[in-house]
A and B are shown apart, each in its own frame.
Chain A
Amino acid sequence: MKKCFIIGICFFCSHILFSQENRLETKKDTTILQETIVIAQRKLSNYRQEKTLSSIDAYLEKANQVTMIKRGNYAWEPSLNNMVSDRLNVTIDGMQIFGACTDKMDPITSYVDVSNLEQVSINSGQEGAENGHCIGGGIDLQMAPSKFHNSGLKTSIDLGYETNGNYKTTGLDVEYSGNKFYLNTDGIFRKSDNYDAGNEKEVMYSQFQKYNFSLQSGYSLSDNNVLEANIIYDKATDIGYPALPMDVSLAEALIISVTHRYKNGSARIKSLESRLYFNTITHIMDDSNRPDVPIRMDMPGWSDTYGFYSKATLKEKKHSLLINLNGFYNKSLAEMTMYPNDPNQPDMFMYTWPDIRTLYTGLYINDHIALNPSESVSTALRLGIHRNKIAKRAGVESLQIFHPNVKESKSCFILSLSGAYTIKKNTFDATLGLGYGERAPSVSEGYGFFLFNSFDNYDYIGNPNLKNEKALELNTKVNFKFDALKLGITSSFFHISNYIIGETDNTAKPMTIGANGVRLYNALNHASIFDVYLNTTYNFSKQISFNSSIGYNYGVESNKQNLPLIRPLSYLAEINYNTQKFNAALQLEGNGNQSKYSSFYGEDETPAYIVLNLNLGNILYLKNNKLVFKYGVENILDANYSTYADWNNIPRQGRNFYLNASYILF
């Protein structure tokens, strides 16, 4: 296993040595069910436009198959195809990074900001396996590629204010771009007080504050070779989680990488990109701001990841090949200290993640074959070896309370396969895809110890004997174009066996005061998840267009019970008016009644809701400089509502006026 890792690194190092002349631009292969969200920070985008200074979370929420699970106003957890963190592979520009919170309060999307990224690539199901194994799909937060624009110095200043929560944002971006060298540095600061739900009801403990700083620099070694370095530092403090019994006093991430890129348009190997990276996360949960708690506790967590990838694109006749060799080593440690109300008693301590080391090495190959100008076939394969080790003896001993046969380490082989057929004609295009994927249990699922889930109010215990979860997947996508009307249907179906979920252990008593009981992670025989979306676009004229989307989702497990966190009927309608210097959009967004809920996993029936938003945008040119305004009203009718994705039914933001201004100095 370790050998594989070392061989990988050797491979990685070796290719830096070869280089060839000639160059030609190649476009990156777009995979079939990919949805790309452009982080249009200082542009006017006309599709589901948002404020320029939205968080990554808000951008992600605009994607069809993505919903954000909200535990507060910060660090929302993405859900893709009705599957959350453990079943997704979320990466930052191909780099693996794992949250340090046992309660999923820090999805990694919270450790980057719009200023760091250029776009987010969302791949459904096994299409998302390029960077790692997943069931539901992959989300890759992509940074801007090399910036050798030779445009000299460019400075941008961003300011944002929102009335609801007195939310202030400030950003500064300085970029120097030459032919041989570029340096980009940006910082962003966000601070929000408690927000108000509809009818001006203040949501306590919903405040947050964060800053993010990044530095990206590149040097062109030769025509074909570029060396880049990237640092992101993100620090959030005083984050409230109204849906949870605890807050976070610190969530800090340092993400460092060095990348070598090679490009050659005329050679067989079109490009080769290799990266070494390291990231470290510190996450400190505490409850010092809460006046009434049964017991005071601290729950810090740490996650360090070291990794590499080496990615090559090749083109040979009809074949476009993408090969990605990657590996990582992760250390996840989390602990809990409880302070008894009786000062004579000693502190109570346990490891909630007993220093779990994960070593993964894998290879991904994707071949895109153009059969003829209108038809193509794409196949992909990912193979990997995954090894978990419990580094703390105390971790082995504590898990033995529940699982007497726990072993210190465990290895498994993981496979992912997918294939898709695409046909493109003038009036329609269609894709049919099939996939098979596996994933290893996550650290919490495998090794968590008394992780309190406030959703179903149970303490969760990991199960080191879990088998890999396996999913068979079918997906289709059809688009029709009739002059001004565009119709699209996307749909995916997952049949998941060994579906990992908590199972109540009636013999064990909960540790958390007030909890209903203890659940052990276990595998259900199978579960099925289905989703379908109908998208319509109609262009009335060059300036005016109409978008709509209706989605239906369904999830049921082998005992015919509903799965939790399955989105009810959802819809969105939007009218856009768009010119070069001005745009406006009126949005209507809502969900149907959530009748298929899972009371076993803590859900209740969430009523239907509708909200109305108005977004406006302007661009002004002042000599050489550009001023971009975005302003509008969200939840115009001040509806007091919560959705199925709101943890413990915390209400969402009420009416909110916002104004974002970006000033770009050339």
Chain B
Amino acid sequence: MRLKYIVPILFISLFTVACSTDENDTPIINGIENLVKIQEITNNDHTIELYNKTGKFNTGYNSVTIRIKDNANNSYFENANISWMPMMQMPTMQHTCPKSAIVKVTDKNTLYEGFIIYQMTNTDGSGWSLTFNYTINNEDYTATDTISVIQSEKQNVTSFMGSDDTKYIAALIEPKDPIIGINNLMVGLYKMENMMSFPVVQDYKILLDPRMPGMGNHSSPNNTDLSYNTADSMYHGDLSLTMTGYWVLNLKLKNSENTVLKGEDVTDQNTQSSLYLELEF
């Protein structure tokens, strides 16, 4: 029994050491020690470095840490004003996706952060490009490049048509590392106004019913429905997970008039709502 614990710990420690030595040549700079570089987007003057935990863009919610390097002297800017525009090129049209504004990381001088929610991708990860428009010392710059977005294994984002004939996107943001216990569930909900605009949907309600299809589709106790929080413009609720494994978070979306826009109750006949997110741990 003791060996059972020691062996995985040994392996984990071995592999984590291996990972950190394996990184690229950039010297480790305060604030990004635990992050992996996704990609660099360059123009003539600057290099925009993109980081996150995995070093990859996946469909669903991606939090991104950004810094801009002055190619002339390899220093990082502290006073940039940045905006971004992800774009998916389809055969006949193009569209963007929900995203946040880019803000400076508090108590870090050169780091900026924001998030992008990719609702889909091509099977080979192609199709998306990312454009940065930014201002440094009152001078405007732009940089653009194609990026690769990998399809997530589980459905952590879903786009759907509501009964009000509006297209919505819901994305799972928290928990990132689920625990057996009560998790703070955070979901982002966006409306597709047009191809280029995905504003936050406010003051709706998302009903939650987590289930385990692998174990008789049982649910868990003491979950709470998600409600809108104006502070972070996200939907929050309690998600209790009684064990590790594959969970389906069955959802029902209600607007502020309490009309159901999407999703059904889970019953013996209907094992899954048409609106759902997936989670595995």
Contact = CB atoms under 8 A, between A and B. Distances in A.
A400 B181 CA distance: 6
Interface stretch (A59-67, A345-353, A473-481): A345-353
A509 B240 CA distance: 12
A348 B214 contact: yes
B220 A509 contact: yes
Contacts of B179: 394, 397
Nearest to B212: A348
A511 B245 contact: no
Interface in B195-229: 212-216, 218-222
Interface string A386-409: 000000001011101110100000
B161 interface: no
Contact of A348 (B182, B215, B220): B215
Interface of A is mostly: loop
Classify chain B: how many residues form its interface, as a range.
Answer: 20 to 34
B218 A401 contact: no
A394 B243 contact: no
Nearest to B216: A513
A109 B1 CA distance: 24
A620 interface: no
Contacts, number: 91
Contact of B218 (A345, A346, A510): A510
Contact of B245 (A349, A351, A509): A349
Contact of A345 (B180, B214, B219, B242): B214
A336 B245 CA distance: 12
B182 A400 contact: yes
Interface string A335-350: 0101011100111111
A348 B180 CA distance: 11
Interface in B64-105: none
A355 to B, nearest CB: 11
Interface string A355-388: 0000000000000000000000000000000000
Interface of B is mostly: loop
Interface string A502-530: 00010111111110001000000000000
A509 B219 contact: yes
B271 interface: no
B244 A509 contact: no
B214 A295 contact: yes
A511 B218 contact: yes
A347 B245 CA distance: 6
A644 interface: no
Nearest to B217: A513
A401 B216 contact: no
Interface string B12-52: 00000000000000000000000000000000000000000
Contact of A350 (B216, B218, B243): B243
A294 interface: yes
Nearest to B238: A401
Contacts of B243: 336, 338, 348-350, 450, 511
A295 B216 contact: yes
B246 interface: yes
Given A346-B245, A397-B180, A508 B221 contact: yes
A121 interface: no
B222 A402 contact: yes
Nearest to A347: B245
A397 B182 CA distance: 7
Given A338-B215, A401-B220, 15 more contacts: A302-B1, A345-B245, A346-B245, A348-B215, A350-B180, A398-B180, A398-B242, A400-B181, A401-B181, A401-B242, A507-B221, A508-B221, A509-B218, A511-B242, A513-B218
Interface of B: 1, 179-182, 212-216, 218-222, 240, 242-246, 280-281
Interface of A: 282, 294-295, 302, 336, 338, 340-342, 345-351, 394, 396-398, 400-402, 404, 449-450, 505, 507-514, 518
11 contacts: A338-B215, A340-B215, A342-B214, A347-B244, A400-B181, A401-B182, A401-B242, A402-B222, A450-B242, A507-B222, A511-B242
